[in-house]
Structures are given as structure tokens and as C-alpha cells.
Amino acid sequence: MAKESGLGFDDDSGSLQDIRNDVPNFQFALPRGVQDVTGIDVFAFERLLLLADMNMTLNGVFNDAANKSHDVFSSVPTYNSGRQVNIAHSGQSLGITPAIEMIATDYALTRGAGGELTWTVPMALSNGLVPTWT
């Protein structure tokens, strides 16, 4: 089996950019809301599943080359729309159909003691579509 992966994000012009080389790691979760509906007549919890969500945190290495991570995320403080996010791994895709739109809430830069410049970008689902693996 061949290894394969992909990670793409819209820049503020809506063009999908491949920033895999700038991202050494990221995490994402697909949580569901839960409502407690337990009555006093039972001895264990009763719960209902609610809306689906997605959140993600990207960790990257600063790269100000054209169409790379700094180009994509430097507009976070002023860009007020969702960004399309695509994740692909081993023939599985998340975010292509339906398209996942997420809002980036910060573009935090850190200069380490050794001189390295890294960044973190937290993101949250914004378009109301359920993230689905295809």
C-alpha cells in the first residue's frame, strides 16, 4: 500500500493552496453535541446526540514564499469568511464533498530560543455542513 496524504486550505482570495510542507503536525476532531435527558425515574444517564462539529489546530513552520502558509494565514486578523479545508489520507477525503468551511480564529507566531519561528492556527467549522469522510 502506498502512503499518500494531502492538506489544502483556501487563501483569502478563495484559491486552494497546498501547505503540506509547512505543517509538521495538526490535530482535528469531529465531536457531536450531547443533551442530557435523564428523568428522575431511571438510574443511569439518558442522552441524545445533537449537532455535529469540527475543530482543528494546525502547527507550522514559518514560510513567507508565495502561496505558502504565511500567505494563507497572514490575513486571519482581517478576513471574515470561512476557508475551505481539505484533508486526504490513504484514499480517504474529508472536506471535499461536502466542502468543509472553517474559520481561522488566530495566527499565533512563536520565536523559540533557538531562533525557530513557528505558528499555530486554531480553526472551527463555520458553514453548517456535517464533515463527512468519502
What distance in Å separates the CA atoms of residue 25 and residue 59, rounded to the nearest whole number? 6
pLDDT in tens, 1-49: 344 566 777 777 878 888 888 999 999 999 999 999 999 999 999 999 9
Residue 19, Cβ density class (10 Å: 0-12 exposed, 13-18 middle, ≥19 buried): buried
Domain spans of the chain? 5-125
CATH fold, domain 5-125, is Elongation Factor Tu (Ef-tu); domain 3 (2.40.30)
* Opening angle at CA 96, ends 68 and 13, nearest 5: 40
The pTM score is 0.84
